[in-house]
Amino acid sequence: MTTPLWKTILAATDFSAASDVSVSTAARLAHQCGAKLLMLHIVELHGGLHETTMIQTPDTHELVSAGEFARTEATRQLLDQARRLVPDAVSMTPVVLLGHPAECIAAHAKELGAELIVVGTHGRKGLSRVLLGSVAERTVRLSPIPVLTIRTSDDAGGVTTTTRLQPLDDEGAG
C-alpha cells in the first residue's frame, strides 16, 4: 500500500466564488488521498472593533464580544460551504481564527498539522491588485508548506492553477 501524498489539507476560504472553486478542489484532493480537510476562515475585524469589543447581535440583540460573534457567524458559513462542496466521505474540520488572512494562514497551517494549503485567488489585475493586494500571493510567500493556488478569472476562460513548492531543507526558503 502506498503512503498518501498528504494526510491533512488546509483549504482557506473567504466564502467567495473563487473560494468555492478552491474548497471543491481541496475536497477532491482530500477524497483522492484519504486526507483530512481543514476549512479555515480568517476573520479580520475592522472599524475599530477589537475581539473583546461588546456588540449587540442583529437578531437577538444579545450583548456578545465581537470576536465571539464573528467566530460563530464564520463557523456557520464554513459549515454551509462544506455542506455544498465537501463530500460526506471527507473528514472536515472547520477552523476560524482572528487576524490578517495571509499571515494567519501561513502561521497556523503547520501548527494545525496541514501539509498542503489550497487557496483561491480572484485574478485581479492592475490597480485593484496593487491597492487590494493578493492574500494568495502573500500566503505563497509566507508559507512554510506547499501552497496550491486556484485562480479563477472571467478573462482566463476558467480555472488555472499555479503551484509553489517549498525546498525540503531551509536553504533558499522564503
CA distance 97 to 42: 5
Domain assignment present for 3:
no
> CA–CA separation, 28 vs 40, rounded Å?
16
C-beta atoms surrounding 85 within 10 Å: 22
Q: pLDDT tens, 30-48?
A: 999 999 999 999 998 877 7
The number of distinct structural domains making up the chain is 1
Inside any domain, residue 172: no
C-alpha span between 45 and 156 (Å, rounded): 32
124 in any annotated domain = yes
Judged against a pLDDT cut of 70, whether residue 93 lies above it is answered with yes
Better-scored residue on pLDDT, 141 or 36: 36
1 part of a folded domain: no
Are 50 and 24 contacting, i.e. CB atoms less than 8 angstroms apart? no
Residue 174: inside a domain, yes or no? no
Q: Is residue 136 part of a domain?
A: yes
How confident is the model at residue 123, as a pLDDT? 64
pTM, whole model, 2 decimals? Answer: 0.81
Q: Is residue 171 part of a domain?
A: no
CATH number for the domain spanning 146: value is: 3.40.50.620
Q: What is the mean pLDDT of residues 125-152?
A: 76
Handedness of CA 8, 10, 15, 17 (dihedral sign): negative
Question: Does residue 169 sit within a domain?
Answer: no
What is the span of the domain harbouring residue 95? 8-164
Q: How far apart are CA 69 and CA 51, in angstroms?
A: 9
Mean pLDDT of 82-100: 96
State which H helix or E strand residue 64 sits in: strand 63-65
